[in-house]
C-alpha cells in the first residue's frame, strides 16, 4: 500500500478527503448516504436506556456530518491496498498517520504491524475497542472501481470496514470535550491466521489496565442499520487436524501381506467424526469435517503414504479443552488394528468468543440508541475469531454489524465477490462511540 500524499495539518474534512483521494484513485461509485438513526427513550421493558452525554453525541454527529465521505474514502483506500496477515505495514502507517494528525499518540507494536492508541482520561477505568486489519489470500472478483490492486489478495472478510470504523471512532472521540472513561483503540494484525494476532497484542500489553473490550464484525446476513448481539458464545472454537499415514504399500491382490492404507484412511474418515458425535454432548454443536484427502494414483497399487486434513469446531468452551486428547485417543483406536503407521498433528486454533452478560447489555444499550429496531438477535456462528483470546483475559463482547443493502444477493464472508453497503461505516462509528459515551465515570 502506498502511503504517499499523507495529510498535512489538522485532519479537517476537506484535508482528509484530499489526502485520501491523492492516495487512491477516485472511486466512481457515489458515496452512500447515512442510515437514518434516532435515539429512543425507553427499552422494550420500559427501563430507561442509558444515553451518552448529549454534548458528546452532538460532537460525534458533527464529526460524521463533516467526515462521512472520508470514512468511505478511507475504506476504499484500504480495500484497494490489502495486506496479508503479519504484513500490514502500510495499513498500520495509514492509520497511524491519521491518528497523529488528529493529535493522538499511536504506539506501533513490535514487528511494525498493529498499533495501540489511548484516548481520554489517563486515570480511572479504561475500556478497549478492537479492529482487525489483515486481508485474505483470495482473488477479488467484485468488479468495483476500487477493487484490490494486489493479485491474489483481497478484503473479503470486511476487515477494511472494521479498520475504518475504529479509525473514525478515534477521530470522532477526539472531538468530544470530555470522555467519561479512558479508551484504548486496538488495531490488530493477523486475525486470519491461527492462533491469531490477538495473542501477540495481549503479550505486548494491549490489555494492561483494561476493564472490558468490545468489537464488531461485518455480517452480510443483517441489513445495514441493524446490529446483532447475543449473550454467551457468538462464535465457535476452530481447530485443525492433519493426519499423515504410512504403510509398506503393495499389490491390491494381496492386501493381507501389507497394511491397506486406503482402507485405514476410510476408517478414519467415517470413524473419527462418528465417534466424536457419540462421545460429545450434541448440544455443544461440535462437528468434525474433512477438507482434503490424498492417497495413491494407481487402481491396483496400495499406496505407501496418504494424508487427511480437516477441522474440528465446537460452540462450547469446556468441550474445546477435551477435543485434542479425545481425537488422539480415537485415531489411535481406529488405526491400531490396521497396522498403518501415522503421525497426527492437532493444531489448536481459537476458543469461542463468549460474550459476558454485562458487556452484551452495554452493547445492546449502545445499539438501541440507533433506533428501536436496530438491535437484532443473532445465532452462534460456526466460524472462529481470535477476539476470543482477549476475552480469556478480560470480559467483553462482539457484535455483528449489518452490511447487507437489503436488496440483491446476500454474499457471504470469504467469497471473492463480497462487498458491503458503505452506510454501515457510520453505523459502526455510532455504535462504538455510544458504547464509550454511555459509560459512567467512577
128 and 69 both lie in a single domain: yes
259 and 390 both lie in a single domain: no
251 and 225 both lie in a single domain: no
Q: Which residues are annotated as a binding site for Mn(2+)?
A: 157, 159, 192, 217, 414
Does 10 fall in a domain? no
327-365 confidence digits (pLDDT tens): 999 999 999 999 999 999 999 999 999 999 999 999 999
Q: Which of 350, 376, 393 is the last residue of a domain?
A: 350
Q: Given pLDDT bands bounded at 50, 70 and 90, which one contains residue 162?
A: very high
Output the pLDDT for position 441: 85
pLDDT over threshold 50, residue 377? yes
Does 125 fall in a domain? yes
Does 191 fall in a domain? yes
Instruction: Decide which of 35 and 247 is more confident.
Output: 247
Mean pLDDT over residues 386-394, rounded?
98
pTM score: 0.85
Phi then psi dihedrals of residue 382, to 5 deg: -85, -5
326 and 409 both lie in a single domain: no
Mean pLDDT over residues 276-304, rounded?
97
pLDDT over threshold 80, residue 11? no
> In this prediction, what percent of the chain has a pLDDT beyond 90?
86
49-61 confidence digits (pLDDT tens): 445 466 899 999 9
Does 328 fall in a domain? yes
Output the pLDDT for position 35: 53
Does 16 fall in a domain? no
CATH number of residue 132's parent domain: 3.40.630.10
What is the separation of C-alpha 85 from the centre of its chain, rounded to a whole number of angstroms?
A: 12
339 and 393 both lie in a single domain: no
168-193 confidence digits (pLDDT tens): 999 999 999 999 999 999 999 999 99
Q: How many domains does the chain have?
A: 2
427 and 293 both lie in a single domain: no
pLDDT over threshold 90, residue 6? no
Mean pLDDT over residues 293-314, rounded?
98
Between CA 88 and CA 82 the distance in angstroms is 8
End-to-end CA distance of the chain: 42
Output the pLDDT for position 55: 85
213 and 88 both lie in a single domain: yes
Q: Tell me the Cα Rg of the chain.
A: 24
30-87 confidence digits (pLDDT tens): 344 345 444 333 344 444 544 546 689 999 999 999 999 999 999 999 999 999 999 9
CATH number of residue 246's parent domain: 3.30.70.360
Quote the domain boundaries for residue 376: 23-235+352-437
Q: Which residues are annotated as a binding site?
A: 157, 159, 192, 217, 414
Amino acid at each position: 500500500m502506498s502511503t504517499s500524499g499523507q495529510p498535512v495539518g489538522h485532519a479537517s474534512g476537506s484535508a482528509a478527503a484530499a489526502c485520501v483521494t491523492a492516495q487512491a484513485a477516485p472511486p466512481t461509485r457515489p458515496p452512500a448516504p447515512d442510515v437514518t438513526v434516532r435515539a429512543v427513550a425507553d427499552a422494550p421493558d420500559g427501563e430507561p436506556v442509558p444515553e451518552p452525554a448529549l454534548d458528546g453525541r452532538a460532537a460525534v454527529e458533527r464529526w460524521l456530518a463533516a467526515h462521512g465521505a472520508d470514512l468511505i474514502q478511507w475504506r476504499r483506500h484500504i480495500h484497494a491496498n490489502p495486506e496479508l496477515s503479519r504484513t500490514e505495514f502500510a495499513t498500520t502507517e495509514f492509520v497511524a498517520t491519521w491518528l497523529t494528525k488528529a493529535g493522538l499518540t499511536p504506539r506501533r507494536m513490535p514487528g511494525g504491524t498493529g498499533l495501540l492508541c489511548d484516548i481520554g482520561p489517563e486515570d480511572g477505568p479504561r475500556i478497549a475497542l478492537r479492529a482487525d486489519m489483515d486481508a485474505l489470500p483470495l482473488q477479488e472478483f467484485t468488479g468495483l472501481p476500487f477493487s484490490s490492486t494486489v493479485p491474489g489478495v483481497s478484503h473479503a472478510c470486511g476487515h477494511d470496514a472494521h479498520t475504518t470504523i475504529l479509525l473514525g471512532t478515534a477521530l470522532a472521540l477526539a472531538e468530544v470535550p470530555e470522555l467519561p472513561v479512558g479508551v484504548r483503540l486496538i488495531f490488530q494484525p493477523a486475525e486470519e491466521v491461527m492462533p491469531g494476532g490477538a495473542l501477540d497484542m495481549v503479550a505486548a500489553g494491549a490489555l494492561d489496565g483494561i476493564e472490558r473490550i468490545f468489537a464488531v464484525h461485518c455480517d452480510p446476513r443483517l441489513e445495514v442499520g441493524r446490529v446483532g448481539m447475543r449473550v454467551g458464545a457468538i462464535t465457535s472454537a476452530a481447530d485443525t487436524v492433519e493426519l499423515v499415514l504410512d504403510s509398506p504399500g503393495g499389490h491390491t491382490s494381496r492386501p493381507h501381506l501389507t497394511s491397506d492404507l486406503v482402507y485405514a484412511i476410510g476408517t478414519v474418515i467415517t470413524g473419527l467424526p462418528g465417534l466424536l458425535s457419540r462421545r460429545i454432548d450434541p448440544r455443544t454443536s461440535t462437528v468434525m469435517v474433512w477438507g482434503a484427502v490424498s492417497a495413491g494414483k494407481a487402481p491396483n497399487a496400495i499406496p505407501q503414504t496418504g494424508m487427511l486434513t480437516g477441522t474440528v469446531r465446537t460452540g462450547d468452551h469446556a468441550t474445546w479443552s477435551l477435543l485434542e486428547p479425545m481425537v488422539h485417543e480415537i485415531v489411535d483406536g481406529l488405526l491400531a488394528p490396521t497396522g498403518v503407521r501415522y503421525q497426527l498433528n492437532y493444531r489448536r486454533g481459537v476458543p469461542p468468543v463468549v460474550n459476558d452478560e454485562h458487556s452484551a447489555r452495554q452493547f445492546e444499550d449502545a445499539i438501541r440508541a440507533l433506533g428501536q429496531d436496530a438491535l437484532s438477535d443473532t445465532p452462534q456462528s460456526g466460524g472462529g475469531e481470535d477476539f476470543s483470546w482477549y476475552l480469556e483475559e478480560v470480559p467483553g463482547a462482539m457484535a455483528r454489524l449489518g452490511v447487507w443493502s437489503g436488496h440483491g444477493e446476500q454474499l457471504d464472508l470469504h467469497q471473492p465477490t463480497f462487498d458491503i453497503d458503505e452506510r454501515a461505516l457510520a453505523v459502526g462509528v455510532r455504535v462504538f462511540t455510544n458504547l464509550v459515551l454511555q459509560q459512567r465515570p467512577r
